[in-house]
Amino acid sequence: MSKRLKELHEEITLRLNGVVESPRREAELLLMAYLQKDQLYFITHQDDFIDDNDPRLFEWIEKRSRNVPLEYLTNRVSFYSREFYIDEGALIPRPETEHLVDEVLSRVPADDVITIVEVGIGSGIISILLALHLPQARLIAVDISPKALAVARRNIEAFGLSDRIELREGDLLSCIDEKIDLLVSNPPYIAHDAPLESNLSYEPQNALFGGDVGDEIIQRLLDEVYKRRIPMFACEMGYDQRIKVQEYLKSFAVQSLDFYTDYASFDRGFILKI
C-alpha cells in the first residue's frame, strides 16, 4: 500500500503530536531522512506516492513517538552547518556547543603549530572542526567510552582527518604524556539527582552526569590544568556553575578567566588562561 507524501506527512504529524515540540517539522525531517531527499524535493513532490509499509519507516515512527531522539533514528546530526554521523554510543551534539568552538577559534591563530587535547570527544565534532580551521594543529582526542570513540572515528574518517586527530581511550588525561598547549572539553556536568527530559534517557549517561554535585569532572580537569601547566583551557559548563568555577579557582594564579553565554544568554562555558 502507498500514500501520497502529504498524507503520510499528516499521519506522522498526528502520531508525534503531544510528544515532541514541533511535530510537523519533525515528521518532515523524518520523511526526508527516510526518502534520502532534501527539503526542496519534499516541498515539490507532495503528491508523490510513498510506500508506507516499509518496516524501517514504521519502526522510526514508533520509536519517535516514544521520544527516542530523531538523530539516533536517522544517524544524522547537524552541527556548525555540517552533517555528522551519530548513534547511541555518543551524546547528541547541542547547538550551544558551537559557542565553545567559536571561543577557541577567536583566540587561536589559524597558523599556530600547537598540540590540542580534547577530553570527552563523543561524536568527534569539536576536534573535527578545530582540525578543519586550524590546519597546523596536532589533535589528540580522549574518551573513556569505546562506543563513543567508534562514532568519532567514523566521523573523523569521513572528513579525511585520520592523520590529524589521534584517538585514545582513557579517563581524562591519564593517557596523555605530551605537552599540551590547549585543553578543550565539553564534560559531563549534570548532577546525578537532576531531573531530565525523557529523551535524555536514551543518551549515554556517562556523558551527561558529572557527579553528585555535577561539577566534579570540571574540577578534576582544572586540577590537571594547573598540575601540567596547560596555558589555556576551554570548557563548557552548566548554566548555574559560574560561581562554583570562580570559587574553585580562588586558590590558583589565573592570568584570565572569561565566561561566555549560549543562544539563550545563559552562562555556558569559560576560557581559562594561566
pLDDT for residue 174: 95
Cα separation of 263 and 121, whole Å?
Answer: 22
- CA angle centred on 99, ends 101 and 36, rounded to 5°: 80
Q: Which three cell numbers stand for residue 220?
A: 578534576
pLDDT in tens, 49-66: 988 778 888 899 999 988
Q: Are 208 and 145 in contact (CB under 8 A)?
A: no
pLDDT in tens, 99-109: 999 999 999 99
pLDDT for residue 199: 58
Half-sphere CA count of 41, side-chain side, radius 13 A: 10
Contacts of 159 (CB under 8 A, 6+ apart): 128, 131, 132
Domain ranges within the chain, ordered by starting residue? 2-66, 92-273
SS3 140: strand
Q: What is the pLDDT along the chain (274 residues), one digit of tens a residue?
A: 688 999 999 999 999 998 888 999 999 999 999 999 999 999 999 999 988 778 888 899 999 988 889 999 999 999 999 999 999 989 999 999 999 999 999 999 999 999 999 999 999 999 999 999 999 999 999 999 999 999 999 999 999 999 999 999 999 999 999 999 999 999 976 655 555 565 555 566 655 555 555 688 999 999 999 999 999 999 999 999 999 999 999 989 999 999 999 999 999 999 999 9
Kindly state which CATH superfamily the domain 92-273 is placed in: Vaccinia Virus protein VP39 (3.40.50.150)
Number of helical H runs and strand E runs in the chain? 10, 13
State which H helix or E strand residue 115 sits in. Answer: strand 115-119
Buried b (16+ CB within 10 A) or exposed e, 19-34: ebeebeebbbbbbbbb
SS3 155: helix
